[in-house]
Amino acid sequence: MAAIARFQFLQPYPISKPSVFFSKFLQSSPSFSSFSSVKPCRIHFRKFSVTSPLCSSSGSIPECPESSESSTSIVGDLLDYLNESWTQFHATAEAKRQLIAAGFHLLKENEKWDLQPGGRYFFTRNMSSLVAFAIGKKYSIGNGFHVIAAHTDSPCLKLKPKSASTKSGYLMVNVQTYGGGLWHTWFDRDLSVAGRVILRADDGSFLHRLVKITRPLLRVPTLAIHLNRTVNQDGFKPNLETHLIPLLATKTENATADSTEKSNVSSSKDVHHQLLLKILSDELSCKIEDIVSVELNICDTQPSCLGGANNEFIFSGRLDNLASSFCGLRAIVDSCALPEDLSNENSIRMIALFDNEEFPIYLSMRSNSIKTLGWFRFMPRSWCANYV
């Protein structure tokens, strides 16, 4: 879930580029429990307050007028964010779009940062995680950070590296569970795929493209009651390896002939159904042979919406933790929308949207703790480059 904290380091650090620092830091800390190379820091966790929001470390914060119009706008924006953010990649892309529209400057980790007082910045990593921060005009080294942390990933089904499967005349898609999900709720739903596709360009380089198939494409059916008479007494206990396999299509004669012709030919495309790759290529307006690799989630096509007799409920998947991601994103955008919003601020306001909270064993981004400490140390060093 989300977390709010205040971090304050005891001393500034030497100057270097982000990529240089991160590579050295990760090499010296190969595990979560080993922090021998990290200098001491003082961490103060802030308690939630019902009197005023945690937006600034200086001065009083005027109360924002509440109205039905503003509440309706926030709810509508949340629904739009949920409907756009089918995967961690789409959630990060939508956050990036909103930050750029709000005037935040995109940084690159392999370049030198020129941070200015009153500046608003953000950067992304792996297209799936994001950090945005705003520097108070009265900030000085050691004043610390105000941080809201959340994550962009949610429990879901992911395509296996080799997803193509055929059984009893049906094309099926092998999937694996990701995170702590209620897997019985994925049965009998209109499902589809979304995520990231790596394409080969004409010049031989690789491109990363996001894809989202909005129409129902897959389904995980349950057995008819005639074939499982005791399910209501014994309970529904599916085998996640054999029962939780979505159906894609019936196996056609053309597909059988194609598979026979290619039985002696080894190809990277054999790991996924040609029919699925054809759907992806049509959506991306590319050729099937241009698709190098895919990283796809199984998603529910039912859109997020309001429900209840008085529209008081939000019916949606992925609320863990996109609701907190949206709140953090909205907080940093609204709290520094005007130039004077940072005039009396003496700290750094930050949101950190991670991408691997649901399944920490996926170490593509390393430990969230290691990554966060790296950012906290680099920002003051970039500040020192201009003012020390």
Q: Which of 6-15, 79-88, 248-257, 338-347 has the lowest mean pLDDT?
A: 6-15
Structure tokens at 120: 């608003």
Q: Which of 23-32, 233-242, 295-304, 322-331 has the lowest mean pLDDT?
A: 23-32
Q: Tokens 């019916």: give the residue.
A: 315
Residue 140 neighbours by CB distance under 10 Å: 12
Average pLDDT, the chain: 80
- Is 80 exceeded by the pLDDT of residue 232? yes
**Using CA atoms, how far apart are residues 100 and 162, in angstroms rounded to an integer?**
37
**Using CA atoms, how far apart are residues 279 and 283, in angstroms rounded to an integer?**
6
Sign, CA dihedral 380-382-383-384, equals: positive
**Using CA atoms, how far apart are residues 49 and 207, in angstroms rounded to an integer?**
45
pLDDT in tens, 305-321: 999 999 999 999 999 98
Enumerate residues 6+ apart whose C-beta is below 8 A from 204.
none
User: What would the mean pLDDT of 237-251 be, rounded to a whole number?
Assistant: 94
Which range, 23-32, 98-107, 353-362, is most confident?
Answer: 98-107
What pLDDT does 8 receive?
A: 54
- Is 70 exceeded by the pLDDT of residue 60? no
Structure tokens at 57: 């470390």
What pLDDT does 298 receive?
A: 98
Triad 166, 193, 3: Cα angle to 5°: 130
Cα atoms in the 13 Å half-sphere on the side-chain side of 279: 18
**Using CA atoms, how far apart are residues 317 and 338, in angstroms rounded to an integer?**
34
- Are the beta carbons of 212 and 238 closer than 8 angstroms? no
User: What would the mean pLDDT of 329-345 be, rounded to a whole number?
Assistant: 93
The percent of residues in the chain predicted with pLDDT above 70, rounded, is 69
Residue 39's pLDDT band, with cuts at 50, 70 and 90, is very low
Residue 353's pLDDT band, with cuts at 50, 70 and 90, is very high
User: What would the mean pLDDT of 288-295 be, rounded to a whole number?
Assistant: 95
- Are the beta carbons of 14 and 371 closer than 8 angstroms? no
| All structural domains of the chain | 3-154+318-387 (3.40.630.10), 156-300 (2.30.250.10)
Residue 4's pLDDT band, with cuts at 50, 70 and 90, is low
Q: Which of 35-44, 176-185, 186-195 has the lowest mean pLDDT?
A: 35-44
- Are the beta carbons of 328 and 354 closer than 8 angstroms? no
**Using CA atoms, how far apart are residues 154 and 318, in angstroms rounded to an integer?**
6
What pLDDT does 313 receive?
A: 96
**Using CA atoms, how far apart are residues 113 and 343, in angstroms rounded to an integer?**
21
Residue 157's DSSP bridge partners are 177, 298
Cis peptide bond N-terminal to 356, omega within 30: no
Burial of 340 per CB tally in 10 Å (0-12, 13-18, 19+): exposed
pLDDT in tens, 86-119: 999 999 999 999 999 999 999 998 888 889 999 9
- Are the beta carbons of 219 and 189 closer than 8 angstroms? yes
The percent of residues in the chain predicted with pLDDT above 90, rounded, is 62
What pLDDT does 244 receive?
A: 95
- Is 50 exceeded by the pLDDT of residue 173? yes
